[in-house]
Structures are given as C-alpha cells and as structure tokens.
C-alpha cells in the first residue's frame, strides 16, 4: 500500500481544512487508517482512526467534536475534515495504514508503531 496525503495549508484560527489521503497498490478491506500529527519539537501524536470496512471512527480527545474522519471506498481515499482550527493544531499531518488485525472488534490502534505504512505528510499551519 502506498499513501499520498494532501490538503494542508495556511488557515486562520477558527477556519477549516480538509486533508485527503489516497491509497494505492494492494489494498485490504479490514484494516485501519489513521491520522497522526507532529508539531515542531514534539513527538508524533495520534489524531483519528477509521476502520476501513465499516467506516467507524475514533478520535483523540484534543480533536473530538472538531475533526471528522471519513473514507470513500470507491476512491480508496480517507479524509480528515478539520473545523474550528486552533494554533495548537499546527503540525505536519500524516496518514497511516495498519494491516494488522485485532481480536477486540472495537479496538482502534493509536500508537505510531502499530502502523505499517505512512504517507509523506502535509503541513497545516493555523495562524492566530
């Protein structure tokens, strides 16, 4: 699987952006896709995850209620709609895919090491 992220840019606080992550190559129906972000001088942190087969989602507390992850199966693309953006959301955003399966049905992997494939990242800058 190869991932290509896009959609980053400069936006004012309170604004919105939508990130896209197109998957190509061999794809599977039962894997997780996720968004992580990394701000300058900070560790990469989990933002949101989505189960590809059912479209259910899970979010970090810091973005819950503001960000929405979704996927378009026909386009092999996942999205991250980001609303009410804050300066603290400034970071490089990465999409990632995990091909691992988990016994617990409603489990969402939230650690970077649990993801096998990463996109190149797209920069989101939120000005105050």
* pLDDT tens digits, 79-116: 999 999 999 999 999 999 998 888 788 899 999 999 99
pLDDT over 70 for what percent of the chain?
96
Residue among 42, 49, 27, 128 nearest 96 (CA): 49
Do 50 and 33 touch, CB atoms closer than 8 A?
A: yes
* pLDDT tens digits, 68-82: 999 998 899 999 999
Please return the burial class of 5, using the count of CB atoms within 10 Å of its CB with bins 0-12, 13-18 and 19+: buried
Q: Cα torsion for 33, 111, 37, 107, to the nearest 10°?
A: 40
* pLDDT tens digits, 25-50: 866 566 899 999 999 999 999 999 99
């Amino acid at each position: 699987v190869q991932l290509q992220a896009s959609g980053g840019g400069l936006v004012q606080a309170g604004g919105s952006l939508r990130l896209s992550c197109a998957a190509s190559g061999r794809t599977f129906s039962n894997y997780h896709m996720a968004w992580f972000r990394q701000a300058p001088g900070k560790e990469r942190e989990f933002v949101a995850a989505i189960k590809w087969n059912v479209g259910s989602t899970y979010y970090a507390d810091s973005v819950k209620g503001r960000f929405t992850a979704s996927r378009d199966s026909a386009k092999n693309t996942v999205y991250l709609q980001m609303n009410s953006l804050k300066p603290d959301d400034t970071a490089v955003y990465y999409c990632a895919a995990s091909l691992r399966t988990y016994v617990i049905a409603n489990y969402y992997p939230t650690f970077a090491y649990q993801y096998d494939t990463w996109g190149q990242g797209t920069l989101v800058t939120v000005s105050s």
